[in-house]
Chains A and B, each alone.
Chain A
């Protein structure tokens, strides 16, 4: 079997799963409805998870080709088994479809507002069947433009959802007060510098106000896994001639030992096979993607990794990596 399946490899026929999260009432369904209506995710199979016994969201999402509601439990805990069973049945249907039926290649999972995305990804990656059929694409998290700051300040779960996102969609931009919105954006940039941030108004993409120079909110420890130390984002330069194998040994050890503290790792690393986009969420490393080669100079962001978490310093990470790669503290060979 070929090692390292890449998510954008044309030979990789696995379905891409987009995880849509966000705190209660943050506008997940509104955003999704718009995406379905405008066709961005129109061909996707939509799975909606609701913590409540009575489902409402399916009535709102009539646009989607196929939609299943998983009600009465959150997919990251009590309804995890039902979610896995449901995803397996989608995979079964896909492989046994009629020859002329279109091939399903996208799933959107809208989680309940009380779901932590990490255990869901972990469960899918750990399932021996699903791992052959589903690759985690993107984690989109809706952030309430009006109450977002309060969620970050007071709700450990709300904050955790935002920390884990690849893409943050700030909703209700039209209803938010400008000063508050600026502070929210600055705070989001601080807790998750790796994510792309966009604005939405009833699902339609909207420009966000300029927030340069706005001070982010000073965040208190919320307990419940948010830890005593503040979350920091730092960048380490792994060098042009990084030995990819030694680097992967180092990063796997680091994630194993410090997975609770290292929330995200993101970056492009040069490997013998080309430029590779690496992303992790706590202890889960998403299937690395091969990126197209660039012409001319190496892009500035290559071989620089962003680490978001707590309990480490840039110097410690760099020294530790050099040790694993067999380089001296100054970067030269030999110790």
Chain B
């Protein structure tokens, strides 16, 4: 646990399983941020994880930003910031123009 910020308070989130080596873990964090960056801008949001500090930064285009622990919190925070649920079954993700 990081003594300054209390991260992580619980054992790893399930989405962080599946990586065995520190190298894989780092690569997974960058890839996770990349996927989020391809999804969140449609909702007027940004995501950043430089792997320098624990957590994922979620922000709005107007500069409001917060650090969350895991993907579960990303979606809850994104919903709060944008006022809309981010639903993967939304037509924008499953439509023919995908």
Contact = CB atoms under 8 A, between A and B. Distances in A.
A272 B18 contact: yes
A243 B19 CA distance: 12
Nearest to A284: B14
Given A256-B76, A319-B93, A326-B38, A271 B19 contact: yes
B: contact size bracket: 35 or more
A248 B71 contact: yes
Contacts of B19: 3-4, 271-273
A251 B12 CA distance: 16
B93 A245 contact: no
A13 to B, nearest CB: 12
Given A1-B12, A285-B14, A320 B71 contact: no
A128 B88 CA distance: 29
Interface in A213-260: 243-246, 248-254, 256-258
Q: How large is the interface on A (under 10, 10 to 19, 20 to 34, 35 or more residues)?
A: 35 or more
Nearest to A316: B94
Interface in B31-67: 31-32, 35-36, 38-39
A319 B94 contact: yes
Contact of B88 (A3, A257, A274): A257
A287 B17 CA distance: 9
A329 interface: yes
Interface of A: 1-6, 128, 131-132, 243-246, 248-254, 256-258, 269, 271-274, 276, 278, 285-288, 290, 311-312, 315-317, 319-326, 328-329, 335
Given A248-B18, A254-B88, A271-B17, 14 more contacts: A3-B16, A3-B25, A243-B31, A245-B31, A249-B32, A253-B88, A256-B72, A257-B86, A258-B88, A273-B19, A320-B94, A323-B93, A323-B94, A326-B38
Interface of B: 1, 8-21, 24-25, 28, 31-32, 35-36, 38-39, 71-72, 74-76, 79, 85-89, 93-94, 96, 98
Closest 10 CB pairs of A and B: A4-B17, A271-B18, A3-B16, A3-B12, A273-B20, A248-B15, A256-B75, A252-B71, A257-B87, A245-B31
